Chain A
Amino acid sequence: MASEAVVERRSVGHRLADLFHGRPRLQVGGLLAGPVGWLVIGYLGSLALLLVAAFWSVDPLSGLTVKSFTLENFESLVNEPVYRSIVWRTIRTALLVTLTDAVIAFPIAFYMAKLASRRGKALLVIGILLPLWSSYLVKVYAWRTLLSANGAVHWALNPIGLDTPGYGTTAVWLVMSYLWLPYMILPIYAGLERIPDSLISASEDLGARPFTTFRRVILPLSFPAVVAGSIFTFSLTLGDYITPRLVSNDQFIGNVIFSNIANNQPFAAALALVPIVVMVAYLLVARKLGAFEHV
């Protein structure tokens, strides 16, 4: 009796082991079922739902969705000039933030990767990561105080005849550039670290001036890293709605999505497709530029 039970118990594990034995596809499948299931159902599934919802409409009073096919969301998105200008403003700001961050981040990353001592490198990494430890909202509110009419920026610039830009698209540009800077520095730093110093020495030995070395050796080799960083800064700016809400009156795509979610989710869904389309286009261009090679 007892030995039978033991056999029975062992055989469950054995049977499983037998099942997987010599079947590498099944092994891999079992291993990946969880993560891939999450990706397809939880992640891509919600995107698919979003896409479907964009073709529905809404009952004006209750705000409940009416699940019948219509193109009216896309029609108003295309036909009403206000949405075009909001989309354009958002893309423009995202590009500007990306450019600003790239220009600021490159020298810092280069110094970290190639020039700084071990200690200096560690200090810089901590310095760059430190802001990420504090809450996003605290940082935006801090900028709100800085940029206020009687704030620190006003106080610092007043003696030289300048003033705070106040709240507006400029403020959004400044705050976003600040917020996403670490996401640009770190990939570039990682990219530059991987360039062997010998290549730079070789370029110098062959008579290239520093700028030529930068242009023909360092930049091409680190370009994929810059593009990788730009994907962060660009997409984060494209999707953010809290910063615009706190430091400007201008609306960005995220704000309009937010203001429509309560009463018109299908329209919000249609609008949410805009950043997705923009991002896909951005990634295609990045691929054309060779950002995903040598990785």
Chain B
Amino acid sequence: MRRKDAHSARTAWFVVTGLVAFMLVLAGCGSSGDSTGGGEELQKVGKGEGALNLISWAGYVEPEWTKPFEAKTGCAVSDKEAGTSDEMVELMKTGQYDGVSASGNATARLVAANLVDPVNVDLVPNYKTVFSDLKDQPYNTFDGVNYGVPHGRGANLLMWNSDDVKPAPDSWDIMFDPKIAAKYKGKISAYDESSYIADAALYLKFHQPDLGIESPYELNEEQFDAAIKLLEEQRANVGEYWSEAAKQISAFAGGDVTVGTTWQYQYFALKGEGVPVAASPASQGFLPKEGATGWSDTWMISSESKHPNCMYEWMNWIIEPKVNAEVAEYFGEAPAQELACEETANKNFCSEYHAENPAFWKRVYYWETPLADCGNGEEDCMDYNDWVKAWTAIKG
């Protein structure tokens, strides 16, 4: 009996030693496994490969415009919806997708990690008539090289249940001012991602000008701490943080929350369900008085794409005037394609969404990746990891 125990103990040690050796080998090999790829852009769009795997925001890839695309190009579209930019970056790392509708807080990371390739915009005929204030922007062009095709843009909305919230708010006070927000304690719905820190920073930019916040994505330690403090105070009043659109829709529909930050997608879905929700009206330009954070999305092509021709076809298709109009109206955002404004079902759509009004977009702060270097050469800004850590701490 004892002999047997001794024997099995020796076997156990043998297995453990083997595993440790295996780990050491792995660790040793590690340094050679850096990801490569990237750099080469396509020179000519050839015949489609028959399939296309996309990562998108909810409402960006819908049968209304993928069916005709499939009929025209023979590229069968399969789509994976992501709820946050982090999720998109993570999915892109798998290398199983051809393209992604990346917001500005993902693009820089995707490029830095060589997960996406430059885009030869000459191969995308519809690119010529994209709004010029969407071209060559810091979130889609790096070192003068284009990395994608603009999809559309919009502002994050302030939405409320008009039965419960009166009078209609015209400011983010209702979310952030402790006295006002306390009236809706437990009924506030906030976005669950570190980028939401920028919403607090934008509020402070307006209400505490002495902090000297320029861009809500470029915060030094003092400005950052002020935003964090505001969010910690807000937490007591938050009923629910959301990151899936479906979760927020069910919370508003079930009466669990009555006011929150949202996207057009949820707003229209709730309207469709007959829930009495309202958002900052067109007369206010959809924006509370402080302005808002928002997005300008870019279709990017994966550096490991197995269907690059289909992806180029898609990038051209999604900014085809008629399709881009359909996409923009479906989601509720401003189209990227100038000519789309003539194709919308609602003839006033482009003016309602300020698609052709560059001045309006100055008040919308597109999502960006926070970097330590925010232009003053001192590397004293809080970077993305700081944001993620702080966000974990806020939620507790």
Contact = CB atoms under 8 A, between A and B. Distances in A.
Nearest to B115: A62
A249 B238 contact: yes
B392 interface: yes
B109 A263 contact: yes
Contact of B86 (A58, A246, A259): A259
A92 B152 CA distance: 46
A61 B369 contact: yes
B22 A144 contact: no
B384 A144 contact: no
Interface string B223-256: 0000000000000001111010001001100111
Interface string B366-394: 00010110000000000111001101110
A55 B90 CA distance: 20
B15 to A, nearest CB: 8
B109 A166 contact: no
* SS of B interface (majority): helix
Interface in A234-250: 245-246, 249-250
A196 interface: no
A202 to B, nearest CB: 31
B369 A48 contact: no
Contact of A48 (B22, B251, B256): B22
Contacts of B113: 62-64
B22 A61 contact: no
Interface residues of A, number: 45
A209 interface: no
Contacts of B240: 167, 249
Interface stretch (A102-110, A146-154, A179-187, A280-288): A146-154
A276 interface: no
A63 B19 contact: no
Nearest to B372: A60
A43 B134 CA distance: 47
Nearest to B387: A263
Given A148-B256, A166-B256, A259 B23 contact: no
Contacts of A144: 247, 250
Contacts of A63: 89, 109, 112-113, 384
Interface residues of B, number: 46
Interface stretch (B25-33, B60-68, B200-208, B315-323): B25-33
B256 A262 contact: no
Contact of B23 (A48, A83, A150): A48
Contacts of A55: 27
B371 to A, nearest CB: 6
A61 B256 contact: no
Contact of B89 (A58, A76, A85, A262): A262
Contacts of B284: none
Interface in A1-58: 40, 44-45, 48-49, 51-52, 55-56, 58
B254 A145 contact: yes
Interface in A137-172: 141, 144-145, 148-151, 166-167
A151 to B, nearest CB: 6
B364 interface: no
B255 A150 contact: yes
Contact of B250 (A52, A61, A148, A251): A148
A60 B256 contact: no
Top 3 A-B residue pairs of the complex, sorted by shortest distance between their CB atoms: A148-B254, A62-B112, A262-B86
Interface of B: 18-19, 22-23, 26-27, 30-31, 33-35, 86-87, 89-90, 93, 108-109, 112-114, 186, 238-241, 243, 247, 250-251, 254-256, 369, 371-372, 383-385, 388-389, 391-393, 395-396
Given A52-B27, A260-B388, 15 more contacts: A55-B27, A60-B371, A61-B371, A64-B34, A64-B35, A67-B31, A68-B31, A82-B393, A144-B250, A149-B255, A166-B256, A250-B396, A259-B391, A261-B90, A262-B89
17 contacts: A45-B22, A55-B27, A60-B385, A82-B396, A85-B396, A144-B250, A148-B254, A151-B254, A167-B256, A246-B247, A249-B240, A251-B395, A262-B90, A263-B89, A263-B109, A263-B385, A264-B388
Interface of A: 40, 44-45, 48-49, 51-52, 55-56, 58-64, 67-68, 76, 80, 82-83, 85-86, 141, 144-145, 148-151, 166-167, 245-246, 249-251, 256, 259-264
